[in-house]
């Protein structure tokens, strides 16, 4: 903090602004933790985005301040396994894709350059993730959503904006669960969490299903 030569602060105020700096709120930072590559959970304060009216940003490298420390460190998705900030949790993912005849396939790959943070919406036999991005038209944070089965590399797009569930994709993705396929064809399910609840209960109800998923 720069203090001008001809300007003197009362001693109690000087201590509050300088000596007590670490207890002051830090703009944009929230309580959270990072998970290191060694699976250590390190608590502190995190800032992963800047949101304002005209220029919102999602940081490729999150800002992290360890508890009781002033120094800021930056971590990208190749440096840590994940993090949590406020009520949001993220996992480091190496997601790759390939398109052919208007069909895009997504999977967990090996190229570290493709790693990014996906927001964990639900974690289970069938997990649900958001890939967040900035919509440049209205400067808002939007997302593309994906399902992924436990121990499987493939991911599938879940919804398509106002059109709702991507039924054809999901019917193919859930070839292991004919009852769910039928419900999707008959449009009994309209929301992602209806699919998540049904599939995870189906897996849990039959040990053979779980064995197949883990094979």
User: In angstroms, rounded to a whole number, what is the distance separating the alpha carbons of residues 152 and 174?
Assistant: 12
* 7, pLDDT greater than 50: no
Handedness of CA 110, 49, 87, 132 (dihedral sign): negative
Instruction: Name the pLDDT band for 214 (thresholds 50, 70, 90).
Output: low
| CA count, 13 A, side-chain hemisphere, 157 | 17
Q: What is the CA radius of gyration of the chain?
A: 22
Phi and psi based region of residue 157 (left: phi greater than 0; alpha: psi -120 to 50; beta: remaining): beta
Tokens representing 73 are 């460190």
| pLDDT for position 4 | 39
- Beta bridge mates, 57: 50
Beta strands in the chain (DSSP E): 30-35, 41-50, 57-66, 72-75, 82-85, 88-100, 103-108, 115-122, 126-135, 140-149, 154-157
> Average pLDDT, stretch 181-190?
97
Tokens representing 170 are 């999901």
The model's pLDDT over 20-72, given as tens digits with 9 standing for 90+, comes to 434 445 678 999 999 999 999 999 999 999 988 688 899 999 999 998 888 99
User: In angstroms, rounded to a whole number, what is the distance separating the alpha carbons of residues 96 and 98?
Assistant: 7
- pTM > 0.75: yes
Domain boundaries, the chain: 26-86
Q: What is the DSSP string of 60-99?
A: EEEEEEETT---EEEE-TTT-SEEEETTEEEEEEEEEEEE
Tokens representing 51 are 């949101």
- Beta bridge mates, 42: 34
* 169, pLDDT greater than 50: yes
User: In angstroms, rounded to a whole number, what is the distance separating the alpha carbons of residues 130 and 83?
Assistant: 14
Give the angle 174-131-179 at the CA atoms, nearest 5°: 15
**Which of 13-17, 78-82, 149-153, 200-204 has the least mean pLDDT?**
13-17
The model's pLDDT over 89-125, given as tens digits with 9 standing for 90+, comes to 999 999 998 887 778 889 998 887 789 999 999 999 9
Q: Which residue has the higher pLDDT, 172 or 2?
A: 172
């Amino acid at each position: 903090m720069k203090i001008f030569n001809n300007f003197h602060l009362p001693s109690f105020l000087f201590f509050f602004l300088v000596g007590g700096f670490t207890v002051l709120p830090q703009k944009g930072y929230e309580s959270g933790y990072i998970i290191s590559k060694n699976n250590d959970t390190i608590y502190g304060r995190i800032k992963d985005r800047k949101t304002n009216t005209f220029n919102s940003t999602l940081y490729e490298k999150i800002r992290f301040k360890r508890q009781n420390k002033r120094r800021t460190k930056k971590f990208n998705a190749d440096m840590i396994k994940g993090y949590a900030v406020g009520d949001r949790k993220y996992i480091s993912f190496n997601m790759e894709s390939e398109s052919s005849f208007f069909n895009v396939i997504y999977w967990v790959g090996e190229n570290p350059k493709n790693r990014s943070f996906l927001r964990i919406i639900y974690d289970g036999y069938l997990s649900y993730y958001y890939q967040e991005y900035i919509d440049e038209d209205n400067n808002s944070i939007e997302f593309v959503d994906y399902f992924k089965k436990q121990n499987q590399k493939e991911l599938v797009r879940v919804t398509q904006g106002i059109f709702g569930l991507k039924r054809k994709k999901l019917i193919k993705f859930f070839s292991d669960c004919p009852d769910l396929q039928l419900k999707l064809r008959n449009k009994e399910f309209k929301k992602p969490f209806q699919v998540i609840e049904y599939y995870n209960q189906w897996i849990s109800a039959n040990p053979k299903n779980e064995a197949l998923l883990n094979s």
